[in-house]
Structure formats: structure tokens, C-alpha cells
Amino acid sequence: MNDAFGNALSFRYELLLPEIILAITAALVIGADAFRSELRLGRRILPWLSVLGLLVAGGVSLLWIDESSDFQLLLTIDNFTTFFRVLFIATAVFVILGSHEYVEKHIGHIGEFYALILLSTVGAIYMAAARELLTAYVSIEILSFSLYVAVSLARNDRRSGEAALKYALLGGVASAMLLYGLSLLYGVGGSTQYAEIGAALAGGAPGMTLPLLLGLALIIAGLGFKASAVPFHMYTPDVYEGAPLPITAYIAATSKAAVLALFLRWFSGPLLPAIDDWQWMIVGLSLASMALGNLIALQQHNIKRLLAYSSIGQVGFMLMAIATISEVSASALLLHIGGYLITNLAVFTAVIALYNRTGTEEISGFRGLAQTNPYLALVITAGLFSLAGMPMLAGFLTKFILFQSASQGGYLWLVTFAVMMSVLSLYYYLKVIREMYLHQPDGDPSRWRLTPTGYLATGVLSLGMVVVGVYAAPLYTMADRASRVLF
């Protein structure tokens, strides 16, 4: 008891500061929103307050590169956590910057919107940081619950409520599966701490084959749902379509990356000894995701649904790195996640800006964008080409490294299939690009401009896309350092 107390005093609490700042900012945002009329605050204060909190938290996280501390093995702040911390905070910043105009027009509860983004970022970061099953589970739920609510926030859109309900119900089922899987894993490993589970599994866990398999299957099903991997993807298109656009962007970016962070922590550490039991499951999941996601995306007419299916396909690519887990593929996956987040945010920010103007989510709404706003058309084109993996843009290099690392793990056939699917994806991205460049605008053909923050967000993200696509060394080095602590 005394020992624990002594340890508790010696913890380096300052390493948790970023999340504390985020949580306080969230509270401030809600408070400011509630007393806005009393305090005579404008609405604009909320996004700026959120961005300020995020920037401070992000700046503080950068101070602790190469620092590490584990809090009684509950969670670890190390380079891996820091990598995702910075990534998630940056994602939140860009989602907020890119969407404040949208939020004012289409979101019912503005304070909640920003607070939920901040809180879910905390959940996502702790998913990457957790070193113990229950901490991980609670982090997942912080993220999930925030998102269930956030999905329902669109004003005057019945699809939003429907999507939220669907997401919450199915998400609940997935959480139940995950929890059951975790309890089986606890039964096998005798502990909830990653380190001890790993040790127990390395010992072979005699007589536990069936519970272990069942536990793994349930865990993978639960996580597969959160990452929207086939066959647990059914909700994704509806939720993406129903959710307000910024939240769709946020789900596609942070939520997906956080689940992959969790995958990395679990499958590189505690579950690695049982690789023969789960590898085929992940391979199957990956194969199904990239096939189905890309094939169904071919026939979508709604940009949100198209991006939903394309993101399912992208998860398939990323799961290859989990299936062939090694230090090499982990760093490749981190690099790819970095590039993917930048690309995805660039596309979504641009789509949000377009939606603010046209009010339609149909791909036909992109018609003639090259004439009415050539800059935006260029950003979207670059983003889509990057998603398809064309050079000069992040997608080419990060995908190349990711695929190369997976082929090094002995799965050249899977990689070949992935490249084929990646080629297929180019077809539907080109369909969008065709609308922008080959057709005349349907409505008003005059030129229009983005808001200053719109220019800022899309500009920085596009630049990031090109920088990562041409000179990925800094990001790759960071990814490499982050992945070293895993093994």
C-alpha cells in the first residue's frame, strides 16, 4: 500500500499534461457555450478556444519526445504515444479549422460539437497509450461515445439521428464482443496487463487453445467493427453519410488511426506470441476489406459514401501491416497513417468547403469546379490521386513502403492483390476528377473563394501531402522511432 502510494507520488504527472489541457479546454468550451449570452461572447470564440487548447497541448507533447514513463503499467507515455498524440491533435486542429463555417450553418449544438472533438481526442490518445486492457477499453469507449453523440449533431437532417442510432446500437454490440474477448484473454493470460499477458502467451498457455482462439476472434471482430473492416463494416456508409461532414472526416481520420494504434500495441506486444492463431484472421479481414471496399466504391454517387467505401479499402491495406507485424511493418504503417491522415483531411476539408457552397453531397455537385474554383479542384484532385497512390503525393511513397514491408513479411500475393485494388480505386477517383474538369458547372458559373481558414487548412494540408510525397524522411524517421518502443 505504502509502496503504491510512494510510486504514485513519483509518477511524472507532467507527462499527462496534454490530455489534461484538452479536457480542461473541453470543459471551458462547454462552459463558454452555456454562458455565452451572459458573458457576451461571440460564437467564433468556441472554435478559436478549442484550437488554442489543442495547439498548447500539441506544443507540450512535443516537449516530451524520447521521454517515457509508465504509470504503474496502466498507460505509457513513450514515443509511440507521442507520435499519435501529435497526429490526433493536428487532426483535430484541421477538422476545426476546416469546418467552422459548416458548423455555424449546419450544427445544432456548437459547444458540444467542439467539446466532443476535444474529448474524443483524449480517448484516441489513450488508446495509443494504454498498457492494460481495461484502460484500453475505457479509452475506446470515451472515443466511441463522443462520436455517437457527435454523429447526431446535424441540424434539420433526419439521416443524422438515424446514423447516430445505428452507430450506437451496433457499436454497443461490438463493444460487448470486444469486452467478452478481453475477458477470455484475461482468463488465458491471468492478468489485464499487456506485459503479463504476453509472458503467459509466450509460455504457451497450455490447454487454453479454444478460449484463446475464441477470445482473439471476438477481439478482432470488435476492433474490426471500430476500424470498419469487412465483414464488420455494414454501418460505415450509413454513418458516414448521416454524420455531419466534419465528423465524417474525423471518424475517417482519428477513429480509424486510433484503432490501428491499438492494433499495433496489442498485436506487437501481448498477442505476438499467438501470431499463428490470429494471423490468418487479420489476413482474411484485410483481403475482404480491400476487395469489397474498393469494388463497392465503384458504384457510389454520393461523395461521403464513396469516401466511406474507399476508407474501408484503405483499412484493408493497413491491416496487411498488422498481419505481417514486425518492426519494419510497424514503422511503415505509422508512416502510412501519417500520410493517410494528411491526405484524407485535405480531401474532406475541400469537400466541406464545396458543400458550404453547393449544399450537395452528390458527385454530380462537383461539376465544373475546375472553372468556378480551380484551386479547390486542384486540392481535391491532388488528394484523390494521393489516395490512389500516385507519385509526388503522400500516397505513393507511404503506400510503397507499406506494401514493401508487407511483402517482406512473406505475403507477396496479398500485396499484389492490394496493388490491384489500389489500381481499381483510381477508377472511381477519376470519376470524381472527371466531373470537375470535363463538365460545365450546373449552376452559377462565376468564380468563388474560400474563407481564409479554408485556404489555410487546405493549403497547409496540400503542402503536407507534397512534402511527405517527395521527402518523407522526417516523418519516416519519427515513425521509426515511435515503432521501436513496441517490440
Partner 1 sequence: MTESDGYILLALFLVPLGTGVLLMLTPSRERAAVIGITGLSSLAMFVLSVYVFAKYSFTGAQFQGVLAITWMENVGLLSEKGMQLKVGVDGIAAVMVLLTGIVIMPGTWVSWKIQDRMKDFFILLYVLVAGVYGTFVMLDLLFWFFFYELALLPMYLLIAVWGSTRKEYGAMKLMMMLIAGSVLIFTALFAMFNELGTGSFDMTQYFAAHFDPTFQKIFFPFIAIGCGTLGGMFPFHGWSPDGHAAAPTAVSMLHAGVLMKLGAFGIIRLGFQMMPEGGAFWAPALIVVGITAALYGAVSALRQTDLKLMTGFSSVSHMGYVFLGLGTLNVIGWNGAILQMFAHGIMTALFFLLIGGMYDQSHDREIPNLSGLARQMPIWSIFFVIAGLASLGLPGMSGFVAELHIFIGAFRAYPIIGGLAVLTAAITATYLLRMFAAAFFGPLNPRWSGLKEITWTERAGAAVLVGAILLLGLWPSPWVDRIAPTIIQSIPGVTL
Q: How far apart are CA 335 and CA 326, in angstroms?
A: 14
Out of 401, 432, 457, 460, the residue judged to bind partner 1 by CB under 8 A: 401
User: How many C-beta atoms lie closer than 10 Å to residue 283's C-beta?
Assistant: 17
Crossing angle between the packed helical segments 303-323 and 256-268, to the nearest 10 degrees: 10
16 binds partner 1 (CB under 8 A): no
Task: State how far the alpha carbon of 182 is from the alpha carbons of 189, 202, 206, 258, in Å.
Answer: 10, 18, 18, 18
How many residues of this chain interact with partner 1, rule: CB under 8 A?
Answer: 39
* Alpha-carbon dihedral sign for residues 15, 9, 76, 125: negative
User: How many C-beta atoms lie closer than 10 Å to residue 293's C-beta?
Assistant: 26
Q: How far apart are CA 213 and CA 196, in angstroms?
A: 18
Position 35, amino acid: F
Tell me which residues in 36-65 interact with partner 1 (CB under 8 A): none
426 binds partner 1 (CB under 8 A): yes
Residue closer to partner 1, measured from CB, 312 or 335: 335
For 107, phi then psi, to 5°, come to -110, 135
487 binds partner 1 (CB under 8 A): no
Residue closer to partner 1, measured from CB, 8 or 463: 463
Contact range with partner 1 by CB under 8 A, out of 261-269, 283-291, 293-301, 383-391: 383-391
User: How many C-beta atoms lie closer than 10 Å to residue 169's C-beta?
Assistant: 12
Residue closer to partner 1, measured from CB, 48 or 437: 437
408 binds partner 1 (CB under 8 A): yes
287 binds partner 1 (CB under 8 A): no
Contact range with partner 1 by CB under 8 A, out of 73-81, 143-151, 218-226, 394-402: 394-402
CA–centroid distance for 193 within its chain: 25
Out of 147, 221, 296, 332, the residue judged to bind partner 1 by CB under 8 A: 332
Out of 280, 448, 471, 487, the residue judged to bind partner 1 by CB under 8 A: 471
433 binds partner 1 (CB under 8 A): yes
Q: With left for phi above 0 and alpha for psi between -120 and 50, is residue 228 left, alpha or beta?
A: left
* Alpha-carbon dihedral sign for residues 136, 139, 144, 147: negative
What's the closest the beta carbon of residue 425 comes to partner 1, in angstroms?
10
What's the closest the beta carbon of residue 421 comes to partner 1, in angstroms?
10
Residue closer to partner 1, measured from CB, 353 or 482: 482
Q: How far apart are CA 406 and CA 332, in angstroms?
A: 9
Out of 62, 63, 412, 463, the residue judged to bind partner 1 by CB under 8 A: 412
The HSE-up count of residue 297 (CA atoms within 13 Å, CB side) is 31
472 binds partner 1 (CB under 8 A): yes
Residue 206 burial by Cβ neighbours in a 10 Å radius (0-12, 13-18, 19+): exposed
Tell me the β-bridge partners of 70: 76
480 binds partner 1 (CB under 8 A): yes
105 binds partner 1 (CB under 8 A): no
Contact range with partner 1 by CB under 8 A, out of 199-207, 215-223, 225-233, 422-430: 422-430
Which residues lie closer than 8 Å to 229 by C-beta, 6 or more apart?
A: 285, 286, 288, 289, 312, 315, 316, 319
What's the closest the beta carbon of residue 341 comes to partner 1, in angstroms?
18
Out of 403, 450, 457, 462, the residue judged to bind partner 1 by CB under 8 A: 403
Q: Which residues bind partner 1 (CB under 8 A)?
A: 328, 331-332, 335, 374, 385, 390-392, 396-397, 400-401, 403-405, 407-408, 412, 415-416, 419-420, 423, 426-427, 430, 433-434, 437-438, 471-473, 476-477, 479-480, 483
